[in-house]
Amino acid sequence: MINIMLSAALVLFGVAILISLYRIIIGPSLPDRVIALDMIGVHLVSAIAIISVLFHTTAFLEVILILAILSFISTIAFSKYIERGVIIERKHDS
Amino acid sequence: MQSLNSCRVKIVYLFNCEIKSYLLQLDNFAKYFTIRNGGLILVSVNLLIIIPFIAAALILFLQKRVSRIHIGWFVLLIPIILFIFLVRYIPNIANGATYLHTINWIPSYGINFSSYLDGLSLIFGLIITGIGALVIVYSIYYLNENESLKHFYCYLMLFMGAMLGVIFSDNIMVLYVFWELTSISSFLLIAFWFQRKRSREGAQKALLITVSGGFSMLAGFIMIGNITGSFSFREIIAIIPDFYDHTLFIPAMLLILLGAFTKSAQFPFHIWLPSAMEAPTPVSAYLHSATMVNAGLYLVARFTPVFGGEGLWFWLVTVVGLVTMFWGSFTAVRQTDLKALLAYSTISQLGMIMSMFGMGSAALNNGYSADSVVYTQATFAALFHLINHATFKSALFMVVGIIDHGVGTRDIRRLGGLATYMPITFTIAMIGSFSMAGLPPFNGFLSKEMFFTSVLNIREANIFSLEAWGTLLPVLAWVASVFTFIYCMIVVFKTFLGKYQEERLEHPAHEAPVGMLIAPIILAVLVIAIFFFPNVLGDYLIVPAMASIFPAFAAEADLGVTISAWHGFTPELIMTIGVVVVGTLLFISLKYWKRIYALLPESWSFDSLYNAVLETVETSSNKITNFYMTGYLRDYLVYIYLFFIIVVGGTLIYTGALNFDIAGNAPIDAIDWFIAITMVVGSIAIIFAKSRLTAILLNGVIGYGVALFFVLLRAPDLALTQTVVETVTTVLFLVAYYFLPDWQKENSSRKTKSVNLLISVLVGAIFVVVALAVQNEKLFESISGFFENSYELVGAKNIVNAILSDFRGFDTMLEVVVLLIAGIGVFTLIKLKARKGEEELENK
Give pLDDT tens digits for B608-667.
888 899 999 999 999 999 998 988 888 899 999 999 999 998 888 888 777 777 777 778
Q: Are residues B507 and B374 in the same domain?
A: yes
The alpha-carbon radius of gyration of chain B (Å, integer) is 39
In a domain? residue A53: yes
Site from A21, A45, A46 to mutate, B interface, most B CB atoms within 10 angstroms: A21
Distance from C-alpha of B83 to C-alpha of B383, rounded to nearest angstrom: 19
Q: Are residues B827 and B685 in the same domain?
A: no
What value, to the nearest 5°, has the Cα angle with vertex B308 and ends B306 and B310? Answer: 110
**Which spans in B408-471 are helix H?**
423-437, 443-460, 466-469
A53-67, B360-374, B388-402: lowest mean pLDDT where?
B360-374
In a domain? residue B613: no
Q: Are residues B384 and B497 in the same domain?
A: yes
Cβ-Cβ contacts under 8 Å, A59 against chain B: 714, 716
Q: Are residues B733 and B815 in the same domain?
A: no
* Pairwise CB contact (< 8 Å): B735 & A88: yes
Residue contacts between A and B (CB atoms, under 8 Å): 105
In a domain? residue A91: no
Cβ-Cβ contacts under 8 Å, A48 against chain B: 708, 711, 719
Q: Are residues B805 and B777 in the same domain?
A: no
The phi-psi region of residue B191 (left if phi > 0; otherwise alpha if psi is between -120 and 50; otherwise beta) is: alpha
In a domain? residue B114: no
B336 touches chain A (CB under 8 A): no
A63 touches chain B (CB under 8 A): yes
B510-534 pLDDT tens trace: 777 888 888 889 999 988 888 888 8
Domain of residue A69: give its range.
14-84
* Pairwise CB contact (< 8 Å): B735 & A87: yes
A39 touches chain B (CB under 8 A): no
What is the rounded average pLDDT of the residues B284-292? 86
Q: Considering only CA atoms, which of B235, B225, B232 is closest in space to residue B255?
A: B225
Cβ-Cβ contacts under 8 Å, B723 against chain A: 63, 66-67, 70
In a domain? residue B296: no
Instruction: Provide the pLDDT confidence category of residue B844 given band limits of 50, 70 and 90.
Output: very low
In a domain? residue A54: yes
In a domain? residue A90: no
Q: Are residues B435 and B456 in the same domain?
A: yes
What value, to the nearest 5°, has the Cα angle with vertex B209 and ends B204 and B213? Answer: 145
Number of domains within chain A? 1
In a domain? residue B753: yes
Distance from C-alpha of B399 to C-alpha of B424, rounded to nearest angstrom: 10
What is the rounded average pLDDT of the residues A76-88? 80
* Pairwise CB contact (< 8 Å): B714 & A55: yes
Distance from C-alpha of B40 to C-alpha of B397, rounded to nearest angstrom: 38
- How far out from the chain centre does Cα B481 lie? 32
B681 touches chain A (CB under 8 A): yes
Cβ-Cβ contacts under 8 Å, B734 against chain A: 77-78, 81, 87
Which B positions 655-674 lie with beta carbon below 8 A of chain A? 669-671, 673-674
Domain of residue B534: give its range.
308-588
Distance from C-alpha of B178 to C-alpha of B183, rounded to nearest angstrom: 9
H or E element, residue B105: strand B99-106
- Burial environment of residue A9 by CB neighbours within 10 A (0 to 12, 13 to 18, 19 or more): middle
* Pairwise CB contact (< 8 Å): B730 & A77: yes
Q: Considering only CA atoms, which of B183, B76, B196, B222 is closest in space to residue B138?
A: B76
Distance from C-alpha of B478 to C-alpha of B76, rounded to nearest angstrom: 41
Q: Are residues B805 and B726 in the same domain?
A: no
In a domain? residue B503: yes
Q: Are residues B800 and B724 in the same domain?
A: no
Exposure class string for B307-327: b at 16+ Cβ within 10 A, else e: bbbbeebbbbbbbbbbbbbbb
B314-372 pLDDT tens trace: 888 988 999 999 999 888 888 888 888 999 999 999 999 999 988 888 887 776 676 77
DSSP 3-state assignment of B312?
A: helix
A37 touches chain B (CB under 8 A): yes
Task: Choose the closest CB to B724 out of A14, A17, A66.
Answer: A66
Answer for the pair B608, B205: CB distance below 8 angstroms, yes or no: no
Q: Which residues pair with B100 in a beta bridge?
A: B116
Neighbours of B222 (CB within 10 A): 17
Q: Please report the pLDDT score of residue B376 as a whole number.
A: 82
Q: Please report the pLDDT score of residue B839 as a whole number.
A: 58
B73-79: long-range contacts (C-beta < 8 A, 24 or more apart)? B73/B140, B75/B136, B75/B153, B75/B156, B75/B157, B76/B133, B76/B136, B76/B137, B76/B140, B78/B51, B78/B52, B78/B157, B78/B160, B79/B129, B79/B130, B79/B132, B79/B133, B79/B136, B79/B160
In a domain? residue A57: yes
Number of domains within chain B? 3
In a domain? residue B81: no
Q: Are residues B778 and B839 in the same domain?
A: no
* Helix (H), strand (E), coil (C) string for B597-640: HHHCCHHHCHHHHHHHHHHHHHHHHHHHHHHHCCCCHHHHHHHH
Q: Which residues pair with B99 in a beta bridge?
A: B117
* Pairwise CB contact (< 8 Å): B700 & A59: no
In a domain? residue B462: yes
* B702 vs A1: which has the higher pLDDT: B702
In a domain? residue A65: yes
Q: Which residues pair with B34 in a beta bridge?
A: B41
Cβ-Cβ contacts under 8 Å, B670 against chain A: 7, 10-11, 14
In a domain? residue A2: no
Q: What percent of chain B has pLDDT over 70?
A: 88
Q: Are residues B568 and B694 in the same domain?
A: no
In a domain? residue A32: yes
Local structure of residue B240 (DSSP, 8 states): G
What is the rounded average pLDDT of the residues B171-200? 91
